[in-house]
Structure 1
Amino acid sequence: MTRNDRMPFSAIVDSFSQGGGVWAFIGGLFMTLCYVVVGLFGIKSKSKIARDENLAQRENALIQHLVDEVSRLNALVGDLDIALKAQANQHATELRREREECNAKMAALKAELEILKRRMTSEEQR
């Protein structure tokens, strides 16, 4: 006597439906199917892994390039700052020299004016 003779398939289904086990069985099948589907979608393919690694390498290369550019620009700003300070000192020196020349010329003109005033007073006195 086989199992089917003792309990035919319809009797198994009837026992499930009477005990509520059919819904548990359907729920179990559904959960198993969901687990398989999620598992299949969750597996990363080799091409996706390679693409992610390539993207990470490109991001690192870009970050390194930007760091190098910022360093170069900082050095350039420092050089420009030094050049501007040197140029400002040079202009200040030139302006001081020109001011001293103008003061010397004004002193010479004042002296010449003083000499002319004396001549005029001496000529008026004659």
Structure 2
Amino acid sequence: MYVADTETATRRRAPVTAGLTVAPLTTAATSDQVAVIHVEIPEGGGLPEHDHGASQIVLIPVSGSVQVRHGQDVHTLVPGSAAHIDTGERVSLANLGTEPASLMVVASPPEFALRLAAWPIT
């Protein structure tokens, strides 16, 4: 068994203006099947359109709200909702709310989490 904590996990910031921060809780080093990442998006922050490589992604809001854009489709995720992003789908994320948003992200396989290791440590 492996246990991680968002308070002690290494945090990295997306290399974009008003970028989100990520704290990988599990990675490919922990599991070859799945990675779990805690994401915090500041008010007015987000991430431009991107893909997740070979990973399928599940976004699970913990607090606040996050707008997910996929092509012309726009969805607002709030606690109690979730979104599945398939391999190859391109999405953008935005926090249009008045408070920070927090998400848990599940990536399978965990290759997407490896990309985050290149982001600067906060």
For Structure 1 versus Structure 2, the TM-score category normalised by the shorter chain is under 0.3
Q: TM-score, normalised by structure 1?
A: 0.15
Q: Which has the higher helix share?
A: 1
Structure with the largest fraction of strand = 2
Q: 1 or 2 for the larger relative contact order (CA 8 Å, sep ≥6)?
A: 2
TM-score between both structures, scaled by the size of structure 2: 0.15
